[in-house]
């Protein structure tokens, strides 16, 4: 039965059970339950899985290295659903500690499966909202990458930050102004369309973002 086929109370109970199961795995350095939830066919089960680990990461009673080591081992799993959910989990962690998971984003940006690459886009979006400076500095280095899909994915990923703080991403979008690939320029136009209504889009960015323009 799918997550949203359950009643509200049943969903609450399921999340409690998932939290208990995942905690047990982390406490015993096992992965049985995490693998089960991360590979579930229901996207909402997988989503709850990565949200739970994201919350546990912020819990001072947990050793963060145990969580990262567990995710690191699953990062190269042959199941794309597991890899996708791992990337989404890293996106939760990167909201507060991007440098800790940066190398995994570097790898997943080139994953063979589109769902994993899409998870990178989604993770850039949510991390960019909460922890923008290191995330945007990371994104900048890929805006001139020879692979057009990488340029497109990164452009798409920084969109959400641009909706609320357009001045932060406009210097980066300039890098794609003369891109010759239609797929990239179409994404650029889309992103610009999302932020164009912001009255302050042409104001100077905050001083801490000046290094993005260097």
Q: What is the pLDDT along the chain (214 residues), one digit of tens a residue?
A: 689 999 999 999 999 999 999 999 999 999 999 999 999 999 999 999 999 999 999 988 788 999 999 999 999 999 999 999 999 999 999 999 999 999 999 999 999 999 999 999 999 999 999 999 999 999 999 999 999 999 999 999 999 998 888 889 999 999 998 999 999 999 999 899 888 765 454 454 444 445 455 5
Report the chain's terminal Cα–Cα distance, integer Å.
52
CB 85 within 8 A of CB 43: no
Specify the pTM: 0.88
pLDDT of residue 63: 87
Give helix 98-108 / helix 64-74 axis angle, nearest 10°.
Answer: 0
State both tokens at 48. Answer: 């709850």
For residue 183, give every residue at least 6 positions away whose Cβ sits within 8 Å of its Cβ, in sequence order, or none. Answer: 148, 149, 152
pLDDT of residue 1: 65
pLDDT of residue 202: 47
pLDDT of residue 205: 47
Show me where the domains of the chain are located: 11-130, 154-214
7 exposed, middle or buried (CB, 10 Å; 0-12, 13-18, 19+)?
exposed
Sign of the CA dihedral with 20 first, then 22, 27, and 30 last: positive
**CATH 1.25.10.10, applies to 11-130:** yes
């Amino acid at each position: 039965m799918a997550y949203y086929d359950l009643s509200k109370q049943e969903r609450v109970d399921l999340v409690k059970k998932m939290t208990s199961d995942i905690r047990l795995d982390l406490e015993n350095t096992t992965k049985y339950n995490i693998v089960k939830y991360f590979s579930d066919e229901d996207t909402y089960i997988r989503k709850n899985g990565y949200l739970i680990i994201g919350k546990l990461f912020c819990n001072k009673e947990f050793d963060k290295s145990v969580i990262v080591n567990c995710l690191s081992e699953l990062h190269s799993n042959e199941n794309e659903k597991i890899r996708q959910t791992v990337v989404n989990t890293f996106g939760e962690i990167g909201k507060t500690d991007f440098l800790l998971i940066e190398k995994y984003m570097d790898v997943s940006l080139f994953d063979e499966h589109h769902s994993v690459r899409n998870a990178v886009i989604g993770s850039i979006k949510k991390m960019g909202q909460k922890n923008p400076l290191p995330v945007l500095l990371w994104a900048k280095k890929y805006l001139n990458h020879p692979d057009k899909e990488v340029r497109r994915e990164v452009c798409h990923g920084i969109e959400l930050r641009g909706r609320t703080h357009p001045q932060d991403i406009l210097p980066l979008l300039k890098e794609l102004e003369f891109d010759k690939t239609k797929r990239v320029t179409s994404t650029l136009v889309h992103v610009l369309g999302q932020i164009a209504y912001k009255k302050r889009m042409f104001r100077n960015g905050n001083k801490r973002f000046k290094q993005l323009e260097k």
